């Protein structure tokens, strides 16, 4: 029995082996072929045997091995649809979002700014005090040097100039040498090449700095003016030295001062042009050679721009970029842009062509598997400012009671504002209520921040406590001293649907708390005009609605006492300053100034920013409302695409965006 089982098992294994061999054998098919043979045979001719040669053609059926033909893989051609056509591709020539999107394909940025932090790209690392590639030296200044004065301005050091010494003491220069802090930062350049194969070197950085420093280059000179020296450190190194007194909290971004702060200029191609000529030259404005993942092949004005991979891209050995070609199409009409996304004529629709008002349609398209919408809270936040300390003969007991001087009134009005309703009804629930001048995802968002809920009952109780009550039963509170009804105006810009909606919601909310709001709308040029004529920055308003931009570094400087608008000779910050509310708080000033004069990574920097926000949220000089949305959309087959809150464009990583096939 044992032997019979053994032979049965062997037979089974043999059968299985045969099946497996058959399964693993190359595929075959039967074909009919003609086989021609030359045959020699003997035949009888008149009784005699004779050898003859004949050609015989036979038709037979044979088994032949089938060779699979490789499938032809279609090229990966990504089409990005922008609502605007760039006016120039020269990095120092403008600030259009559409231009920045294309520049991201052509150039390697020195760094990226993602999720409220910084990441190196064209430089090997972000320098830091901790690593020793950024240092603060104590230097002696004796007069004549460009230094930073106590007002934050670069000036020539001469008698009477006020500066901070190394101990942060205010010193009035009288010819006696002063010890001041000075930053020195070293940057290591990533080895790479221009799209024509020439090496990128420190000479390109020096050339770029020279162009950005030129008065004919229309870009910010803030960092340029605070640069004492900018020098090559070998072929792949740059050393930036700040002027004495300038402790730059974003020192690690100073690899390319001026311009757009990100992109480099090819010295070997542009050195024949002046700074003024580079604004218009085709080599810089229309067909620039960069050091990024792509290079321009053609630009058809009013229609499209076609790019191909840069064969010299420094990450080409990683298989980057993944795409075979990149096309930018210019489609100013939003409906047409969405239609082309749905038809597959566009793969990506960018934020300049889409808005929160498109959300319902994009969400429906996502439900049906047609598109992938991207909703990201950005860095722009809407807010309603209180006219706490007005200027001149407006308000504050002149023309109206001083409604907003008591912080409890501001707190009550904040609790009476249904900010979540604004988010739900205007931004389709895709944004978030904000409680300070940075969002909750910011790394410097503090514990212990006062976050006022929507609570009409608590708001009314607080207003009662202040003494503003409705004595005549008409639903509107009155000032207890003058008997004037609590009726104020709220102004903002005309022609902005979002702001019209939110101000209407606010007006309705305030009626629940016995406050009557009269709405008015002005052209932006009038609303935002400098004082004393402009109502907002002239501090001649009751309530004002507009937006500020939050940043990687919290913008506490917007609310410093030194920023209150008004004549400088009266002790204010000037009519070009930012402090429209007139709010002044010594404790806030101390914490904010401590943070601003400290470097990232230090306790003073972090603690100062966090404590300043705690004071701000308790005092509420403004009602922070919500973050604006960044909206973009892509076809489902687009991968590695996304929207970041702090990067200037969603196309920052075109080198790794891919198409599934």
Do 485 and 401 meet the contact criterion of CB atoms below 8 Å apart?
Answer: no
Give the residue among 59, 64, 63 at the shortest CA–CA distance from 36: 59
Question: How far apart are the C-alpha atoms of 485 and 400, rounded to whole Å?
Answer: 10
Tokens at 586, concatenated = 């010594």
Residue 66 lies in a domain: no
Question: How far apart are the C-alpha atoms of 112 and 118, rounded to whole Å?
Answer: 6
Cα 74 from chain centre: 33
Instruction: Give exposure, 24-51, as e/b (b: 16+ Cβ within 10 Å).
Output: eeeeeeeeeeeeeeeeeeeeeeeeeeee
Residue 256 lies in a domain: yes
Do 424 and 360 meet the contact criterion of CB atoms below 8 Å apart?
Answer: no
DSSP letter at 91?
T
* 577 shares a domain with 483: yes
Do 365 and 371 meet the contact criterion of CB atoms below 8 Å apart?
Answer: yes
Do 620 and 411 meet the contact criterion of CB atoms below 8 Å apart?
Answer: yes
* 539 shares a domain with 433: yes
Handedness of CA 12, 16, 18, 19 (dihedral sign): positive
Handedness of CA 316, 321, 326, 331 (dihedral sign): negative
Average pLDDT over residues 21-28: 52
**pLDDT level of residue 597 (50, 70, 90 thresholds):** confident
- Total domain count, the chain: 2
* 391 shares a domain with 365: no
18 or 12, which is more confident: 18
Question: How far apart are the C-alpha atoms of 390 and 386, rounded to whole Å?
Answer: 10
The whole-chain average pLDDT of the chain stands at 92
Question: How far apart are the C-alpha atoms of 294 and 312, rounded to whole Å?
Answer: 9
Q: 101: helix, coil or strand?
A: helix
21 or 530, which is more confident: 530
Tokens at 459, concatenated = 């708001």
pLDDT tens-digit series, residues 239-263: 999 999 999 999 999 999 999 999 9
Question: Which CATH number fits the domain that encloses residue 173?
Answer: 3.40.190.10
H helical segments located in 47-191: 97-106
Question: Rounded to the nearest 5°, which phi and psi values hold at 61?
Answer: -110, 130
pLDDT at 44 over 80: no
pLDDT at 26 over 60: no
* 326 shares a domain with 247: yes
Residue-level pLDDT at 35: 53
Question: How far apart are the C-alpha atoms of 596 and 250, rounded to whole Å?
Answer: 11
Contacts within 8 Å (CB) and 24+ apart, 21-24? none
Residue-level pLDDT at 107: 99
Q: 299: helix, coil or strand?
A: strand
pLDDT at 369 over 60: yes
* 507 shares a domain with 364: no
Question: How far apart are the C-alpha atoms of 190 and 314, rounded to whole Å?
Answer: 9
Average pLDDT over residues 339-352: 97
pLDDT tens-digit series, residues 107-146: 999 999 999 999 999 999 999 999 999 999 999 999 999 9
Tokens at 98, concatenated = 């559409």
Question: Which CATH number fits the domain that encloses residue 587?
Answer: 3.10.105.10
* 273 shares a domain with 157: yes
Give the residue among 121, 117, 138 at the shortest CA–CA distance from 187: 121
pLDDT tens-digit series, residues 619-660: 999 999 999 999 999 999 999 999 999 998 999 999 999 999
**Counts for the chain of helices (H) and strands (E), in that order:** 16, 24
SS percent in the chain: helix, strand, coil, step 5: 25, 25, 45
Question: How far apart are the C-alpha atoms of 573 and 539, rounded to whole Å?
Answer: 13
Instruction: Please state whether the peptide bond connecting residue 321 to the residue before it is cis, i.e. omega within 30 degrees of 0.
Output: yes
Q: 35: helix, coil or strand?
A: strand
**pLDDT level of residue 67 (50, 70, 90 thresholds):** low
Residue-level pLDDT at 129: 95
510: domain range? 383-629
pLDDT tens-digit series, residues 453-480: 999 999 999 999 999 999 999 999 999 9
12 or 431, which is more confident: 431
Average pLDDT over residues 595-618: 95
Tokens at 176, concatenated = 């006696």
CA distances from 420 to 108, 133, 379 (A): 40, 46, 18
Report the C-alpha dihedral over residues 529, 534, 538, 541, rounded to 10 degrees. Answer: -130
Cβ neighbour number for residue 357 with a 10 Å cutoff: 15
Residue 56 lies in a domain: no
* 640 shares a domain with 625: no
* 470 shares a domain with 454: yes
| Beta strands 348-349 and 325-330, pairing class | unpaired
Q: What is the pTM of this model?
A: 0.84
* Exposed/middle/buried for residue 385 (C-beta within 10 Å: 0-12, 13-18, 19+): buried
CA distances from 42 to 35, 50, 54, 56 (A): 22, 5, 11, 15
DSSP letter at 351?
T
Do 627 and 380 meet the contact criterion of CB atoms below 8 Å apart?
Answer: yes
Residue 20 lies in a domain: no
Residue-level pLDDT at 39: 52
Question: How far apart are the C-alpha atoms of 140 and 144, rounded to whole Å?
Answer: 12
Question: How far apart are the C-alpha atoms of 500 and 225, rounded to whole Å?
Answer: 41
Do 552 and 113 meet the contact criterion of CB atoms below 8 Å apart?
Answer: yes
Residue-level pLDDT at 71: 74
Residue 103 lies in a domain: yes
Residue 596 lies in a domain: yes
Question: How far apart are the C-alpha atoms of 440 and 547, rounded to whole Å?
Answer: 17
pLDDT tens-digit series, residues 575-593: 999 999 999 999 999 999 8
Percent of the chain scoring above 90 in pLDDT: 84
What are the residues whose beta carbons fall under 8 Å from the beta carbon of 265, sequence distance 6 or more?
A: 91, 204, 207, 208, 211, 278, 284
pLDDT tens-digit series, residues 186-234: 999 999 999 999 999 999 999 999 999 999 999 889 999 999 999 999 9
* 580 shares a domain with 492: yes
Residue 39 lies in a domain: no
Residue 219 lies in a domain: yes
* 396 shares a domain with 533: yes
Cβ neighbour number for residue 445 with a 10 Å cutoff: 17
pLDDT tens-digit series, residues 287-332: 999 999 999 999 999 999 999 999 999 999 999 999 999 999 999 9
pLDDT at 14 over 80: no
State the residue for tokens 């439900």: 367
Residue-level pLDDT at 661: 85
Residue-level pLDDT at 5: 37
What are the residues whose beta carbons fall under 8 Å from the beta carbon of 177, sequence distance 6 or more?
A: 140, 141, 142
Residue-level pLDDT at 8: 39
* 413 shares a domain with 547: yes
DSSP letter at 157?
-
Average pLDDT over residues 383-404: 89
pLDDT at 436 over 80: yes
Q: 342: helix, coil or strand?
A: helix
* 253 shares a domain with 160: yes
Average pLDDT over residues 43-69: 60
Tokens at 243, concatenated = 């002027």
């Amino acid at each position: 029995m044992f032997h019979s089982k053994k032979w049965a098992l062997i037979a089974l294994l043999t059968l299985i082996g045969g099946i497996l061999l058959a399964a693993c054998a190359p595929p075959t098919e039967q074909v009919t072929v003609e086989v021609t043979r030359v045959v020699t045979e003997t035949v009888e001719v008149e009784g005699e045997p004779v050898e003859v040669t004949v050609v015989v053609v036979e038709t037979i059926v044979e088994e032949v091995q089938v060779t699979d033909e490789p499938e032809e893989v279609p090229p990966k051609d990504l089409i990005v649809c922008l609502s605007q056509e760039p006016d120039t591709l020269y990095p120092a020539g403008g600030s259009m979002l559409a231009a920045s999107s294309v520049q991201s394909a052509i150039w390697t940025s020195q760094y990226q700014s993602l999720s409220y932090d910084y990441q190196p790209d064209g430089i090997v690392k972000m320098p830091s005090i901790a690593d020793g590639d950024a240092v603060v030296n104590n230097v002696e200044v004796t007069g004549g040097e460009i230094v930073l004065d106590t007002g934050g301005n670069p000036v020539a050091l001469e008698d009477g100039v006020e500066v901070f010494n190394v101990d942060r003491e205010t010193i009035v220069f009288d010819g006696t040498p002063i010890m001041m802090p000075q930053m020195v930062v070293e940057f290591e350049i990533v080895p790479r090449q221009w799209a024509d194969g020439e090496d990128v070197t420190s000479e390109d950085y020096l050339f770029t700095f020279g162009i950005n420093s030129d008065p004919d280059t229309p870009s910010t000179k803030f960092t340029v003016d605070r640069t004492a020296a900018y020098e090559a450190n070998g072929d792949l190194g740059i050393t930036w030295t700040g002027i004495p007194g300038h402790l730059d909290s974003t020192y690690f971004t100073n690899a390319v001062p001026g311009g757009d702060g990100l992109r480099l200029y090819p010295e070997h191609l542009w050195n024949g042009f002046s700074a003024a000529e580079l604004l218009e030259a085709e080599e810089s404005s229309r067909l620039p050679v960069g050091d990024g993942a792509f290079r321009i092949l053609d630009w058809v004005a009013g229609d499209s721009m076609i790019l191909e991979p840069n064969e010299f891209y420094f990450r080409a050995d990683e298989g980057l970029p993944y795409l075979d070609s990149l096309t930018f199409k210019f489609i100013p009409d939003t409906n047409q842009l969405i239609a082309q996304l749905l038809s597959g004529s566009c793969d990506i629709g960018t934020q300049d062509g889409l808005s929160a008002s498109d959300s319902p349609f994009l969400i429906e398209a996502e439900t049906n598997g047609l598109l992938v919408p991207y909703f990201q809270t950005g860095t722009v936040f809407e807010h309603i400012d209180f006219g706490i300390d007005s200027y001149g003969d407006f308000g504050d007991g002149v023309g109206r009671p001083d409604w907003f001087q008591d912080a409890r009134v501001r707190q009550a009005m904040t609790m009476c504002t249904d900010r979540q309703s604004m988010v739900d009804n205007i931004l389709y629930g895709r944004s978030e209520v904000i409680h300070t001048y940075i969002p909750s995802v910011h790394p410097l968002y503090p514990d212990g921040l006062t976050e006022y809920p929507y609570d009409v009952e608590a708001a009314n109780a607080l207003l009662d406590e202040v003494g503003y009550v409705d004595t005549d039963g008409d639903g509107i509170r009155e000032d207890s001293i003058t008997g004037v009804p609590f009726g104020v105006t709220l102004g903002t810009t005309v022609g902005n649907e979002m702001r019209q909606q939110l101000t209407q919601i606010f007006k309705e909310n305030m009626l629940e708390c016995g406050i009557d709001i009269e709405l008015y709308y002005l052209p932006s040029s009038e609303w935002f005009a400098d004082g004393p004529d402009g109502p907002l920055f002239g501090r001649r308003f009751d309530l004002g609605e507009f937006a500020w931009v939050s940043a990687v570094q919290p913008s506490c400087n917007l609310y410093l006492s030194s920023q209150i608008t008004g004549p400088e000779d009266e002790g204010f910050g000037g009519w070009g300053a930012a402090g429209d509310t007139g709010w002044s708080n010594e404790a806030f000033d101390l914490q904010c100034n401590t943070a601003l004069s400290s470097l990232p990574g230090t306790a003073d920097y972090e603690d100062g920013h966090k404590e300043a926000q705690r004071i701000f949220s308790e005092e509420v000089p403004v009602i922070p409302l919500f973050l604006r949305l960044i909206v973009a959309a892509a076809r489902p087959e687009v991968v590695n695409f996304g929207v970041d809150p702090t990067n200037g464009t969603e196309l920052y990583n075109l080198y790794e965006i891919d198409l599934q096939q």
